[in-house]
Chain A
Amino acid sequence: MTIKQVSVFLENKAGRTQQIAQLLANKNIDILAFSLADSSEFGILRLIVDDTEKAAQTLKDAGIAVILTDVIRIDLPNKTGYLAHLLKYLQENGISIEYMYALQGDGFCSTIIRPYHLEACKDILNNYK
């Protein structure tokens, strides 16, 4: 399933990630998953939240650069071997992954995937068993 991810451009400055988390906390927005990609002087914080629109608006109002990106969420049983199986399937079908990270909650486990070719990946996943 395709979901919206909130990406935030951050300068590499002390306390910057905390400020983002605080802004979202103040608005009662729940962060379900995140990953932080960084280069030497700036980073991109990627977030999956329970209210994407509200989160994006809150951050924009605070003058922060926000990008909404489509990513794919795949629910998997929380058991050994399922991730390896999924990745093998994607690889065999020629899907390259730009980045990925995990989303885990009570009784479920998901993989968030940003493939280089979103539509192709969606089509392939439709046939995944």
Chain B
Amino acid sequence: MIWNINKETMDREQMRVLQGKRLQKLVTYVYHNLPFYRNKMQEIGITPADIHGIDDIINLPFTTKQDLRDNYPYGLVSAPHSQIVRIHASSGTTGNPTICAYTRHDLTVWQESVSRCLGAFGLTREDTMSVAYGYGLFTGGLGLHYGVENYGATVVPASTGNTEKHIRLIRDLGITAIACTPSYALYLSETMRKMGITRSELKLHIAALGAEPWTENMRQEIQEQLGVKAYNIYGLSEICGPGVSYECECQNGSHIVEDHFYPEIINPITCEPMGYGEKGELVFTTLTKDGMPLLRYRTKDLTSLINEPCPCGRTSVRMTPIMGRSDDMLIIRGINVFPSQVESVILSMKEFEPYYMITVDRVNNLDTIEVQVEVRDGYYSDDINEMICLKKKLQNHLKSVLSIKAEIKLVEPNSIERAQGKAKHVNDKRKL
């Protein structure tokens, strides 16, 4: 179902006009309300009067995560505090946390965006969605929660943790849809097997997965294990939270809510704008936000944009699956390696569980990469040679994809941490 026919199927040219008007209004607003942006714009000599349409966006300054940290806590909040009704915050594991402040209007836009996602995933008001993102400072839980309520379906705020109880609720309440991270979806199916609950006992058939990059192989695995159709939901708290883009039934790129969040792709090194279909860093401008609007926020997510009609009828620009983050990319012996490449190889091999941990180190000035994997039950052998062959098989397969040789370490069942939130896949021990 298309939740907002008017916006989601809007004529491309009309959309650009709308985006242009909203951009002009936004730039005027931040110029007059935020010294941070006024200073940045004055430095490069532009004023709100220089913005005539959406194409002029390329003349505006960028915003980075570091800007958010440097201006912690309230330096980028442009609405008066009396207008702010909610604040979320990032974990801040590497320095100051970053905060996101929302006005009532911002929350309404967020709910609208999530509602568009739910429509595209095929939910109806008869559906019950369990939200297994963390509730709290993280935007995943509350973001989905109010979106489902706004949509008119039933929400079960399961949050993370207590997975066995959650599975019993999915079965007993006849829960039809779940929102969680892809790694948690796999963990759910593994826990179900341990509990002896089969997917035929559940009514679950829709999974809205996001908050971490995932591959097509992982989608196939989850769809098979859980008996669901698995859809990507993309978002980041700086822009609003989950709901910035979403897959439709075609599962071919995520439709961006571009009347509110304008996307661009730039070269992550030169910052030059890039065209449709070109891979680069995703940048968003929050066209309609009041609380903490951002101009050209650099997400560090690497993807490309598709500007072609989608068979589902939506006209919005789509983004391809995130190929990694520019800061997730590992440079090993001079070769670029993304954890997602390792993931796609492991998930394509039935001999291994869909969990892995990459350890990078530097020994005698040479980078080393080790991948830990668990052998799947039924593929263990009593024969040392067969186990070594299994290792070699994965090693060769990885080498053909990564172009470098990774050491493989077979570890005991359940020894790789099962993530309930975002999975941690890399441990880089190099002291550079």
Q: Are B380 and A9 in contact (CB under 8 A)?
A: yes
In the complex where A39-B388, A65-B377 touch, is A46 in contact with B382 (Cβ < 8 A)?
Answer: yes
Residue B272 lies at the interface, judged by CB distance under 8 Å to chain A:
no
User: Which residue of B381, B384, B415 contacts A11 across the interface (Cβ within 8 Å)?
Assistant: B415
User: Which residue of B380, B411, B414 contacts A67 across the interface (Cβ within 8 Å)?
Assistant: B380
Residue B413 lies at the interface, judged by CB distance under 8 Å to chain A:
yes
Minimum CB–CB distance from B370 to chain A (whole Å) comes to 10
Interface string of B381-402 (1 = CB under 8 A from A): 1111001100000000000000
Q: Which residue of chain B has its CB nearest to the CB of A9?
A: B380
Once the chains are docked, how many angstroms separate the CA of A9 from the CA of B386?
A: 12
Which residues of chain B have C-beta atoms less than 8 A from A65's C-beta?
Answer: 375, 377, 380, 412-413
Count of A-B contacts judged by CB separation below 8 Å = 42
Q: Are B412 and A10 in contact (CB under 8 A)?
A: yes
Once the chains are docked, how many angstroms separate the CA of A44 from the CA of B387?
A: 10
Once the chains are docked, how many angstroms separate the CA of A98 from the CA of B385?
A: 10
Q: Are A44 and B413 in contact (CB under 8 A)?
A: no
Q: Which residue of chain B has its CB nearest to the CB of A68?
A: B382
Range of interface residues on chain A?
Answer: 10 to 19
Once the chains are docked, how many angstroms separate the CA of A41 from the CA of B387?
A: 11
In the complex where A9-B375, A65-B375, A65-B377 touch, is A39 in contact with B384 (Cβ < 8 A)?
Answer: yes
Residue B410 lies at the interface, judged by CB distance under 8 Å to chain A:
yes
Which residues of chain A have C-beta atoms less than 8 A from B380's C-beta?
Answer: 9, 65, 67
Q: Which residue of chain A has its CB nearest to the CB of B409?
A: A41
Which residues of chain B have C-beta atoms less than 8 A from A69's C-beta?
Answer: 382
Number of residues on chain B facing chain A (CB within 8 A): 16
Q: Which of A5, A37, A64, A65 has the most CB of B within 10 A?
A: A65
Once the chains are docked, how many angstroms separate the CA of A118 from the CA of B384?
A: 18
Once the chains are docked, how many angstroms separate the CA of A65 from the CA of B384?
A: 14
Q: Which of A97-126 contact B (CB under 8 A)?
A: 98, 114
Which residues of chain B have C-beta atoms less than 8 A from A38's C-beta?
Answer: 384
Q: Which residue of chain A has its CB nearest to the CB of B415?
A: A11
Q: Are B412 and A9 in contact (CB under 8 A)?
A: yes
Q: Are B387 and A42 in contact (CB under 8 A)?
A: yes
The dominant DSSP class at the A interface is strand
User: Which residue of A5, A11, A37, A39 contacts B412 across the interface (Cβ within 8 Å)?
Assistant: A11
Which residues of chain B have C-beta atoms less than 8 A from A10's C-beta?
Answer: 412
Minimum CB–CB distance from A113 to chain B (whole Å) comes to 13
User: Which residue of A41, A64, A98, A114 contacts B413 across the interface (Cβ within 8 Å)?
Assistant: A64
Q: Are B383 and A64 in contact (CB under 8 A)?
A: no
Q: Are A7 and B382 in contact (CB under 8 A)?
A: yes
Residue A81 lies at the interface, judged by CB distance under 8 Å to chain B:
no
Residue A63 lies at the interface, judged by CB distance under 8 Å to chain B:
yes
In the complex where A7-B382, A67-B382 touch, is A42 in contact with B414 (Cβ < 8 A)?
Answer: no
Q: Which residue of chain B has its CB nearest to the CB of A7?
A: B382
Which residues of chain B have C-beta atoms less than 8 A from A114's C-beta?
Answer: 382
Which residues of chain A have C-beta atoms less than 8 A from B412's C-beta?
Answer: 9-11, 63-65
Which residues of chain B have C-beta atoms less than 8 A from A37's C-beta?
Answer: 384
Minimum CB–CB distance from B381 to chain A (whole Å) comes to 7
Which residues of chain A have C-beta atoms less than 8 A from B410's C-beta?
Answer: 9, 11, 41-42
Q: Which of A68-117 contact B (CB under 8 A)?
A: 69, 98, 114
Once the chains are docked, how many angstroms separate the CA of A5 from the CA of B414?
A: 23
Once the chains are docked, how many angstroms separate the CA of A22 from the CA of B387?
A: 26
Q: Are A98 and B414 in contact (CB under 8 A)?
A: no
Q: Which of B404-425 contact A (CB under 8 A)?
A: 409-415
Chain B interface (Cβ < 8 Å from any Cβ of A)? 375, 377, 380-384, 387-388, 409-415
Chain A interface (Cβ < 8 Å from any Cβ of B)? 5, 7, 9-11, 37-39, 41-42, 44, 46, 63-65, 67, 69, 98, 114
The 4 closest A-B pairs by CB, nearest first: A7-B382, A69-B382, A63-B414, A65-B380
Identify 15 new A-B residue pairs, CB closer than 8 A, beyond the known A11-B415, A42-B387, A67-B381: A5-B382, A7-B382, A9-B375, A9-B410, A10-B412, A11-B412, A39-B384, A39-B388, A41-B410, A63-B414, A65-B377, A65-B412, A65-B413, A67-B382, A98-B383
